[in-house]
Structure 1
Amino acid sequence: MKKLTFTLLSVLLCNMANAQMKFVQGQDKTMQQILAEAKAKKQIIFVDVYATWCGPCKWMDANTFADARVAEKFNKQFINYKVDGDTSEGQLVRNLYKVDSYPTYIFIAPEGKVLHRIEGIMPPQVFMDEADFAAKRAKEN
């Protein structure tokens, strides 16, 4: 019985450790395609505008986005779109949403309206609270 409990606990912990946010990458789909998908699915878009050279962006990837609780919440509630602001698609997104610093996070309603915008680094719980705020704003509209 102890072996079975240990094995089940090990599998559960491994699965939690491997939980990651699932992002659609900017090189795979355009913002316009993501907007169309969100409208069809009636789902909020979460956009991460980052740069490969950005230290705070790397910190968020390694810490907040890697947190199992964040991954579970965002994978369930949002279409997660990650776009490098230095690419041509990223520049279109930056111009469309007036992004001038990295990282910038934008929550967009299925109809295309910006619900909430935040910048910089934040720990997992604060980040999830920001997501809840965006979801609440979507329900109010």
Structure 2
Amino acid sequence: MRKTILLIFTLVFVSFNASAQKINWVTFDEAIALQKKNPKKIMVDVYTNWCGPCKMLDKNTFQNKDVANYVNANYYAVKFNGEGDEVVNYNGKKFSNPNYNPALANRRNSAHELSRYFQVRSYPTIMFLDEKGNLIFPLVGYKNVSQMELYLKMFNADEHKTLDTQEKFNEYYNAFKSEFKG
């Protein structure tokens, strides 16, 4: 009996600590509503259920304590299935996936209208939106912890606004010193 109670306590404690380092994901509609009350940028992880690099991004990057803490402090984080059936309200328009096939939920499916609107062509794509919900930049492909840190910090501090040439971005990229562990 004591061992069972100790085991339950340990599992609850470990679960609590693990969840403290996770990103606080919200829906797209929730992020837009939150943004109206307290303006913050939005980070949208556009994924699909069948996408291997999307799963790697979740496991290797978004589960990182430093990434999760930074995202939670500075962004509203949205996890959006680019081929899912969620209905989203954005800029006064309703977006859905009228050709969604539930039988293909874990395989390639029809692209969501919002994915098409933002011209998402591959997964994962991480879209960064400004405090008014306008697209800043779509970051395409898997990113490791230090790569993600660079973009999270660059967009949060609005440094992207001064990086108007590839040369300026390269200088910024080469000068960037990662602080996140992982």
- Does TM, normalized by the shorter one, top 0.5? yes
Match for residue 62 of structure 2 among 60, 65, 70:
65
- After TM superposition, the structure 1 stretch with the greater mean CA deviation from structure 2, 85-94 or 108-117, is 85-94
Q: Which has the larger radius of gyration?
A: 2
Q: Percent identity?
A: 27
Compute the TM-score of the two structures, normalised by the length of structure 1. 0.76
Is residue 70–residue 128 contact of structure 1 (8 Å, CA) maintained in 2? yes
Q: Deviations over 1:77-117 (max 9, x none)?
A: 00000011111337132022111110000110121221222
- Unaligned regions of 5+ residues in structure 2, if any? 1-12, 87-95, 97-111, 162-182
State the number of aligned residues: 124
**Greater fraction helix:** 1
The code of the aligned residue for 1:20 comes to K
Name the structure 2 match of 1:42: 39
The code of the aligned residue for 2:44 comes to V
Compute the TM-score of the two structures, normalised by the length of structure 2. 0.60
Correspondence 1:5-16 to 2 at 5 A:
15=17
Is residue 154–residue 160 contact of structure 2 (8 Å, CA) maintained in 1? no
Q: Which has the higher contact order (CA 8 A, sep 6+)?
A: 1
- After TM superposition, the structure 1 stretch with the greater mean CA deviation from structure 2, 38-47 or 15-24, is 15-24
Q: Using the TM superposition, give the Cα deviation of residue 18 of structure 1 relative to its aligned residue in structure 2, in angstroms.
A: 5.5
Equivalent position SS for 2:132: coil
- Unaligned regions of 5+ residues in structure 1, if any? 1-10
